[in-house]
A and B are shown apart, each in its own frame.
Chain A
Amino acid sequence: MIRQERMQVVGQKEIARHIFELTVQGELTAEMTAPGQFVHVRVADSFEPLLRRPISVAAIDPVLQQFTMIYRAEGRGTSLLSEKKPGDTLDVLGPLGNGFPVEQAEKKAYLIGGGIGVPPLYELAKQLNEKGIQTVHILGFESKQAVFYEEKFKELGDTHIATVDGSHGTQGFVTHILNELPKDFDTYFSCGPTPMLEAVQWAYPEKRGFLSYEQRMGCGIGACFACVCRTTKSETDYIKVCSDGPVFPAGVVIA
C-alpha cells in the first residue's frame, strides 16, 4: 500500500563526491515489497522547489523499520535533500512502482548498474543472495571519486567497476566489461541511464533481463501521464514508468 509519512532522518553521509546516503525510519518501510521500488520525496515544506523527487530504495532494514536512499546532489531539490540531518523529518510518499522480480532468477544473475542507477541493485543483490542466487555486479561510474558501495557489493559477489575516465577499474562503460565476461548466468537486472540500458539489452538478446527506467515525473503514482513510454507490443500500447514500472522485462519499453 502507498503511504505518505513524515519519516525520521536517522543518518545522512556523503559517501562519494556529491553522492549521499540517507537513511530514514518509519512505518512506510513495512510496505516495501521488492527491491527496485522507489519513493517520492518532498525536499522542502514550501512550494519551491515544487515537485517531489523520485529516489530508489537502496537498502531495507525491516527490523529497524529503516530504509536507505543513495542519491547524487545535483540540482536544487537533491541539494536541499542533502542538508537534512538526523532528527529532521522527511515527507516520503511510497513505496511506489513495481520492483525487480527476484523470483525470476534461477542460479546466477548479473546486476548491471550505471551511476545513480547502482543504488537499487544493492538491495536486489542482498535479496538474491539470501535466496542462494549467485550475483555478479558490473558497475559503471564517472570517475574514481564517484564510486560508492564497492566494498559492500564485493561482500555479496564478484564486483567489476568501470569508470569513464579510467581512474578506477576498467576504463570505459560497463559494456566493455560485459564483453569480457562469460555468459554463464540465467538472468540479468539493470538500472542506469537509458543508453546504458539499451546497450545491455543488445549485449544479451538471448537472456532473460529486467531493466529499470527513468522518466521525468509529476505525480509518481500513475495519474498524470507525464512518464509514459511506448512499447514494442503494438502501435498504441504504452506504459507509465511510475506505476507500471519502473522495472520492465527487456525488449518491452521503447525509451
Chain B
Amino acid sequence: MTNLTVNLPGLNLKNPIMPASGCFGFGKEYAQLYDLSELGAIMIKAATVEMRLGNPTPRVAETAAGMLNAIGLQNPGLTKVTGEELPWLEKFDVPIIANVAGTTTEDYVEVAREISKAPNVHALEINISCPNVKQGGITFGTDPLVAQELTRAVKDVASVPVYIKLSPNVTDIVSIAKAVEEGGADGITMINTLLGMRLDPKTGRPIIANITGGLSGPAIKPVALRMVYEVRKQTDLPIIGMGGVATVEDAIDFMSAGANAVAVGTANFVNPFVCPEIIAQLPEKLHELGYESVEELVGRSHRL
C-alpha cells in the first residue's frame, strides 16, 4: 500500500493535496459536489478583522492558460468566519489552514490570535503576498525585514503553527524565505499570484476594474516550480507548493522540487473535482515512479 500521509507542523495530513486559499471559499460550495473529508486539508479564504467588500468588477479576466484576479480579499470578517464558517466545517474530518490577511501588523496579530483558537484550525497561512489590496499585503511580502517582523509578531500570539505565504513578485524569493524562517515561521506556502494585466484589444482599457490582477493557473507553473526548487535548496522548512497545479503530474513535479504538500487553486474552477481526482491518482503514479510513500518522493530533484 502506498503511503500518502504527510506530517508537518500542526498538520497530520492523510494525503498531500488541498485546495488553495480563495479558490474554495469556506468549503460550502464544493461540499455539494464531494465529501470534503477526502481532502488532505483545506486552505480557507483570507479572513480580515472587519468584513471586506472587495474590489469593483470585473474582478477576473482570462489569459493564455491562466487567469487574472483582483477580488480584493472580500470576506465576511473575523467574527463571522470564527462564528459561522469554521463551525460549519467541523463536520468534516479535515484540518483547516486559516488564511490571515490585513493591512497593518495589528490586523494580522488580531486575526491570527483569534482564528487560531478555533478547534479545527490546525495551522495559519499568513498572506503577506496578496497583490490586490492597496496598502499593506504586498509590502509585507516584498521586504525581508518587514516580513520577518510580521512573522515574529504573529508567532507570539498564534496557538497553532504558522506558515508564511510568499509572494513571487520579488527579485529574490529565497531571501524572504530565509528571513521568515529566522522570524520563527513553522513553514512556507508558495506561491501567491504574479501581478499582471490584460487590456481590451479594442479600447486599450484594462479589463480588470482594479487595473492589475494576480495571475494564476497553468501559465504560472514553471515560475512557481522554480521558486519552490530554489527555496528548498536553502531551507529545511516545510513547504506547501502551489501555482498552476491541475493534474497529478503537476503535483508530483512540485513534490519533486521539494514541496511537502501541494495546493490546487484555479484548477478547481476548471474541474471542480480536481482535488479528489489527483488524490485518487497519486498512489498509482507514485507506484509507477517506484515510490512507496509521498515522503520518499519529496525533494527527489535535489538528489539527482
Give the interface of A toward B (CB within 8 A): 1-2, 4, 42, 47-52, 77, 93, 215-230, 236, 238, 243
Q: Which residues of B contact A (CB under 8 A)?
A: 22-25, 28-30, 32-33, 45, 51, 53-54, 57-67, 69, 71, 74, 217-218, 246, 266, 268-273
Checking B51, B58, B246, B268 against A236 with a beta-carbon cut-off of 8 angstroms, the contacting residue is: B51
CB contact between A228 and one of B25, B30, B54, B62 (< 8 Å): that residue: B54
Q: Across the interface, do A47 and B59 meet the contact criterion of CB distance under 8 Å? A: no
B residues less than 8 Å from A47 (CB atoms): 65, 217-218, 246, 270
Task: Give Cα A219–Cα B54 distance, bound, in whole angstroms.
Answer: 17
Chain B contact surface mostly: loop
Nearest-neighbor residue (CB-CB) of B59 within chain A:
A226
Given A47-B246, A226-B69, A236-B51: A217 and B60 within 8 A (CB)?
Answer: yes
B91 to chain A, nearest CB (A): 18
Q: Given contacts A50-B218, A224-B25, A225-B71, is CB(A2)–CB(B32) below 8 Å?
A: yes
A46 nearest in chain B by CB position? B65
Q: Which 4 pairs show the lowest CB-CB distances between chains A and B?
A: A223-B25, A223-B29, A226-B60, A47-B218
Contact A221 B29 (CB under 8 A): yes
Contact B269 A51 (CB under 8 A): yes
The docked-state distance in angstroms from the alpha carbon of A47 to that of B221 is 12
Q: Which residue of A lies closest to B244 (CB)?
A: A47
Q: Flag if A2 contacts B270 (CB, 8 Å).
A: no
Q: Check B61–A238 contact: CB distance below 8 A.
A: no
> What residues of chain A lie closer than 8 Å to B65, measured between beta carbons?
47-48, 50
Q: Which residue of B lies closest to A219 (CB)?
A: B269
Contact of B71 among A1, A222, A224 (CB under 8 A): A224
Chain B contacts for A229, CB-based, 8 A = 57
- Which residue on A lies nearest to B22, using beta carbons? A224
Q: Is the interface of A mostly helix, strand, loop or mixed?
A: loop
Cβ contacts A to B, 14 pairs, < 8 Å: A48-B65, A50-B270, A51-B62, A51-B67, A77-B62, A217-B60, A218-B67, A221-B29, A222-B29, A223-B24, A224-B23, A226-B69, A227-B57, A228-B53
**Chain A residue nearest to B217 in the complex (CB):** A50
Q: Which residues of A contact B51 (CB under 8 A)?
A: 236
B53 lies within 8 A of A230 (CB): yes
Known: A227-B57, A230-B53. A51 touches B272 (CB 8 A): no
B61 near A216: Cβ-Cβ < 8 Å: yes
Docked CA distance A1–B33 (Å): 9
**Residue contact A223 to B30, C-beta cutoff 8 Å:** yes
Residue on B with the closest CB to A241? B57
Please, which residue of chain A has its CB at the minimum distance from the CB of B64? Answer: A48
Closest Cβ of chain B: how far from A175's Cβ, in Å? 24
Q: Kindly state the separation between the CA atoms of A236 and B246 in the bound complex, as whole angstroms.
A: 35
Give every chain A residue within 8 A of B23 (Cβ-Cβ): 218-219, 223-224
Enumerate chain A residues within 8 angstroms of B246, measured Cβ to Cβ. 47
The verdict on A218 contacting B57 (CB below 8 Å), with A48-B64, A48-B65 known, is no
The residue from B25, B30, B62, B269 contacting A220, defined by CB atoms under 8 A apart: B269
A228 touches B268 (CB 8 A): no
Cβ of B16 to closest chain A Cβ, rounded Å = 22
A51 contacts which chain B residues (CB < 8 A)? 60, 62, 67, 269-270
